[in-house]
Copies of this chain bind each other. A is one copy, B any other.
Amino acid sequence: MAGYSLGMKSEPPRLRPLAVHSPAADARPYHHGDLRAALLQAAEAELAERGMEGFSLRSVAKRAGVSHAAPAHHFGDAQGLLTALAAEAFRQFLAAQAARETVAEKDPASQLVAAGLGYVDFAIARPTLFRLMWQSDRPDFEVPDLGLSARAAYQHLIDQVAAAGGRSTADEAAVWALAHGLADLLASNRLRGVRSLEPEARDAMVADIIRRALPEV
């Protein structure tokens, strides 16, 4: 649950040139060191603070301590940055599901419920990223990096539904819609009656609800 971060290097890069003669306030070097990762990290923070609609490329650059045009070289334009961010988000979205699956019972039904819990975990922990993935027009799903990671998340769902005995399109749709609906409503801070529960009680209720999607199991 804790510790998701998009920078992928925990150390803030900013490799200063060994301070040969720096007057201590020499500030940043001309070359950043790992600007691409820093921009992704800054973009996520900006998104979390100002929301999807208040997102600004220039603010991201400022937060990363860099000029307003610097992001262009790494991502092309704002859409490119958000596409890369969404791709990374889909990977962590799958990781959140996997984290639940490893601590769950190994039978297919329990694994399916665990994936649903991970789906919801991610939506609650990072609601703006969740919106970027599912409801925004800006990420370009034609870009292979994003298209593949999104498809991987979808395929994981399909596989689990099949393993749990789901056979029809309706079964797939029911499981997906239920998990997604819970996640989206919780991310938007609706469903307060569920969201305000203690973690254990909330998990139990979410699990109970998700099980309803597959009546025959």
Contacts and interface: CB of A to CB of B under 8 A. Distances in A.
Interface stretch (A12-20, A37-45, A50-58): A50-58
B172 A209 contact: no
Interface residues of A, number: 34
Given A170-B209, A212-B212, A212-B213, 14 more contacts: A52-B136, A53-B53, A53-B136, A169-B205, A176-B181, A176-B185, A176-B191, A177-B182, A178-B178, A178-B181, A179-B181, A180-B185, A181-B182, A181-B184
Interface string A191-208: 101100000000001001
A135 B169 CA distance: 27
Interface in A124-166: 131, 134-138
Contacts of A134: 184, 188
11 contacts: A52-B136, A134-B188, A135-B135, A135-B184, A173-B185, A174-B209, A176-B181, A178-B178, A178-B181, A180-B181, A181-B182
Interface in A42-93: 51-54
Contacts of A212: 174, 212-213, 215
A7 B12 CA distance: 53
**For the complex formed by this chain, how many copies does it contain in all?**
2
Nearest to A215: B212
Interface in A107-132: 131
A185 to B, nearest CB: 6
A209 B135 contact: no
Contacts of A52: 53, 136-137
B209 A137 contact: no
A212 B194 CA distance: 19
